[in-house]
Amino acid sequence: MRFGILSTADIATGSMIPAIEDSPHTVAAIASRDEERAREAADGIDAAPETYGSYEALFDADIDAVYNPLPNALHAQWSRRAADAGLDVLCEKPLAVDTEEAEALFDHCADEGVALMEAFMYQFHPRTERAREIVREELETVRNVASTFTFSLRGDPDDIRLSPELAGGSLMDVGCYPVSAARGFLGEPERASAHALDTRDCGVDTELAARLEYDEAHAQLRCGFDTPHRQCYRVDAENGWLAAENVYNPSGADVSITYSVEGEERTEEFEGVDAYRLEVEAFADAVESGDEPPIGREETLANMRVIDAIYGSADRGERVPVDE
């Protein structure tokens, strides 16, 4: 598959472009609003991608698919433009600003006959798959999931993650991962409650805590830009527990799960893998086979519904249902 990269965002240059180049696929084109930045991003890439000084020009390149890492508020707009050009789309999370926009984008891509996948790369790491398997097969009656994703966002007050116009905020940037993890272990919640802080007076949540309610369980989620980096989850069940650190952006060889079943504690370690490369390969394989991508419409919409409910609760100061 020949990919066009829609912008020179850090996640594109630092993670996705190397992952594509390490896969059987190629980076064939890179676009930026500044062509010099596109040329800099292309330096050293064996495939010698074409470079463009506008996003629109990318759609005329000799490519099969577009990777879209633009700011959140631009995801749907430019993914739709790619679909109009007949290109399959791998779009960074969150796919859209809310469920309604995400659903409309899936409908549009289906009408245009192109594939659309939300790029939630942590789901492709073998540890994520194994953790869900352990919880599903060995832990009985899960009662609680707790997950955190925080980091200290310092420096530029104009960072896009602090922009309400670009759909910034800690929930959209990193909190969507704990939402996904809780759903991966417990399924779909019935209600959500949340409290958000805007500690930078910027118009978005910079700290947020949420509670998801199930018939016989609950989940506590935390995300934010004000405290040191941490990304973890813990699952507690009647016969044991499971816990892991560095779960959403695992790197290097220090990747493990520790869990206890009926009092017997075990630790499983995983070899270092590039989950971005696994994501790229899974997307391309689905396109080639004509199958729905592994992170498909229902998964993405279910996650967005919970995000919408969390924001609704934070805005209104009350528990709100997670709409079906």
Cα separation, 200 vs 206, in Å, equals 7
Going from the C-alpha of 221 to that of each of 29, 160, 177, 209, 236, the distances in angstroms are 38, 23, 10, 6, 14
Show which residues are catalytic. Answer: 93
Tell me if the bond preceding 94 is cis, omega within 30° of 0.
Answer: yes
Residue 210 token pair = 């949420």
The residues with which 195 forms a beta bridge, in sequence order, are 209
Residues 6+ apart with CB under 8 A from 308: 98, 99, 323
Cα separation, 96 vs 84, in Å, equals 17
User: Contact at 8 Å (CB) between 47 and 26?
Assistant: yes
Tell me the helix, strand and coil percentages in the chain, rounded to 5.
40, 25, 35
Whose CA is closest to 33, among 11, 13, 14, 51?
51
Q: Which residues of 185-205 are buried (b: 16+ CB within 10 A; e: fewer)?
A: bbeebeebbbebeeeeebebb
User: Contact at 8 Å (CB) between 304 and 173?
Assistant: no
